[in-house]
């Protein structure tokens, strides 16, 4: 069985040019913008590669912190939160799998990795949810399948950190 690893994007290690997920905006982000965003510390970008071919990017995602207007957050998600001008969250800004590897469940593997990193980061930086902005209804269905909920009247979706914590907390 092929083994994969997920690690921070590196200009010296990873070949961004050959990545093709079939979504021009996601391909362009990885090929032209991801390293700049990472250098500027605007996003943390993580790539999945096969252990035996570490240069070949199989998939990637980006994470960053974001503030959300509490007025758009569904009321049940605001329960027990202090009243602040912004709700703190992590934004899962991009997530894509190369066409050659689609249909193997690797998107779910990357999502779990992103959620683990976001959960671990809450030991240092507060955040009450992970949010994402799916590009289309197919992407939205992927996130719904993994427990994300929709904001009312927005394309944006969220998964509460309390739910994420239950996924990774052992009893």
Point out the catalytic residue in the list 29, 61, 84, 143: 143
- Angle at which helix 106-121 crosses helix 161-168, to 10 degrees, equals 100
* Rounded CA separation 116/118 (Å): 5
Active site residue 84: no
In sequence order, which ranges of the chain are alpha helices (DSSP H)?
24-28, 34-39, 75-78, 106-121, 137-145, 161-168
Which residue in this structure is represented by tokens 């399948």?
145
Beta-bridge mates of residue 15: 56
Q: Are 90 and 118 in contact (CB under 8 A)?
A: yes
CA atoms within 13 A on the CB side of 167: 18
Query: Which residues are identified as catalytic?
Result: 143
């Amino acid at each position: 069985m092929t083994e994969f690893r997920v690690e921070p994007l590196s200009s010296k290690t990873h070949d961004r040019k050959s990545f093709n997920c079939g979504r021009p905006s996601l391909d362009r982000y990885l090929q032209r913008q991801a390293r700049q965003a990472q250098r500027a510390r605007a996003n943390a970008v993580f790539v999945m590669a096969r252990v035996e071919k570490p240069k070949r990017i199989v998939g990637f995602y980006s994470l960053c912190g974001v503030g959300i207007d509490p007025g758009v957050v569904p009321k049940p998600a605001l329960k027990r939160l202090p009243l602040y001008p912004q709700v703190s969250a992590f934004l899962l800004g991009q997530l894509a799998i190369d066409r050659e590897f689609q249909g193997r469940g690797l998107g779910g593997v990357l999502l779990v990795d992103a959620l683990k990193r976001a959960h671990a980061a809450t030991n240092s930086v507060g955040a009450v949810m992970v949010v994402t902005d799916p590009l289309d209804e197919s992407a939205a269905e992927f996130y719904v399948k993994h427990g994300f909920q929709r904001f009312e009247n927005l394309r944006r979706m969220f998964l509460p950190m309390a739910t994420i914590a239950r996924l990774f907390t052992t009893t």
